[in-house]
Amino acid sequence: MRVKLKNVFIVYFVVSLVGLLCALLQLGQPCDCSQQIQAERRRGRERLRAEQRNGGARGEPRAEDGGQALPTIYVVTPTYARPVQKAELVRLSQTLLHVRALHWVVVEDAAAPTALVSRLLATSGVPFTHLHAETPPESRRRPGDPPWLHPRGAEQRNRALRWLRDTRAPGDGGVVYFADDDNTYSVRLFEEMRSTRLVSVWPVGLVGGLRLERPLVAGGRVVGFHTGWKPERPFPMDMAGFAVALPLLLERPQALFDPRAERGYLESSLLGALVSPEQLEPKADNCTQVLVWHTRTEKPKLRQEEQLQREGRGSDPHIEV
């Protein structure tokens, strides 16, 4: 049968018309979305008001998707007193303030909570829990010890794990991330880790003597690790390079950091009790993007300060730095 051009046009026209009619019929369908729309408007207004009141703080986590709360990210930060401590915590808090449904667990290496950290947390605008755990004397760094001699922060991170296990219910969702106070975190990193089912991993910049360390991913699974330092470790990655699902930590109450772990094995001491490397979930675009950097802050030169203090003319100690 010969196909006439005229027929082709007619068929095309009819099909388009039918399609258009279907689309038009979809619009204006009666449905009761008014409640949703009003609820959205109300939430939006409250958010605006809260933001204007708080001068930029992002407020409480919002419910979405029919009332299911967003998994909370518990950010565990060990910290210790030194001149740059306040500066580090201030700029870290400014990043965390951008992340919804986040709870900051700050653990001081101290015999008691300090006024400096208490005040800082209270005014930061970030939901927080303030804990403390003192590193035992034998594990403490002595002047002259290289920084890597004793793993740092193990007791403090374990204290946070204990708090989570004491206060969170087995049904609670959530993700736990160990964030040191001198690293640099992009806001996007936190959204990547939010979907962690067991343990998720991603690259870390400026660590291990390299531009970046990262898990190697093939077919959406972790098949190895790209690192230049001690690659024989079970989990050759930095503390900033993984997050753990809260339910997993609650299921395995024995899983803790080992304060006596050999240098570089602290992460493995926890992760080995939680997952095998094949179970790791790669994030950050199959571990090709750097969303966190292992920055370190210089120790400030305080020579003139020390000299003045020797002369009894040091700066006003009441002015908090």
What strand order describes the sheet that includes 184-185?
A: 184-185, 292-293, 204-207, 210-218, 221-226
Q: Which residue among 86, 162, 165, 233 contacts another protein (CB under 8 A)?
A: 86
Q: Three-state secondary structure along 97-123? A: CCCCCEEEEEEECCCCCCHHHHHHHHH
- Under the binding rule (CB under 8 A), the answer on residue 60 touching another protein is no
- Under the binding rule (CB under 8 A), the answer on residue 295 touching another protein is yes
Q: Pick between residue 208 and residue 282 the one whose CB is nearest to another protein.
A: 208
- Under the binding rule (CB under 8 A), the answer on residue 212 touching another protein is yes
Q: Which residue among 1, 31, 111, 112 contacts another protein (CB under 8 A)?
A: 31
Q: How many residues bind another protein (CB under 8 A)?
A: 76
Q: Pick between residue 100 and residue 221 the one whose CB is nearest to another protein.
A: 100
- Under the binding rule (CB under 8 A), the answer on residue 23 touching another protein is no
Cα of 136 vs its chain's centroid, Å: 27
- Here's the x/- map for another protein, 166-205, by CB under 8 A: it reads as ------------------xxxxx--x-----------x-x
182 is in an annotated binding site: yes
Per DSSP, what are the bridge partners of residue 254? none
- Here's the x/- map for another protein, 65-84, by CB under 8 A: it reads as xx----------------xx
Shortest CB 56 distance to another protein, Å: 4
DSSP assignment letter at 277: G
Distance (Å) of CA 321 to CA 94, 108, 163, 301: 17, 17, 29, 14
- Under the binding rule (CB under 8 A), the answer on residue 47 touching another protein is yes
Determine the 3-state secondary structure of 206 from DSSP. strand
Distance in angstroms (rounded) separating the CA atoms of residues 18 and 99: 47
Distance (Å) of CA 79 to CA 138, 148, 245: 18, 16, 23
- The set of residues, in sequence order, having a beta carbon less than 8 Å from that of 69 and lying 6+ positions away, is 61, 63, 101, 173
102: left (phi over 0), alpha (psi -120 to 50) or beta: beta
Catalytic residue list: 267
Site residues for another protein, 94-153, by CB under 8 A, read: 94-95, 97-98, 100
297 is in an annotated binding site: no
- Under the binding rule (CB under 8 A), the answer on residue 236 touching another protein is no
Known binding positions for UDP-alpha-D-glucuronate: 78-80, 109, 152, 157, 180-182, 294-296
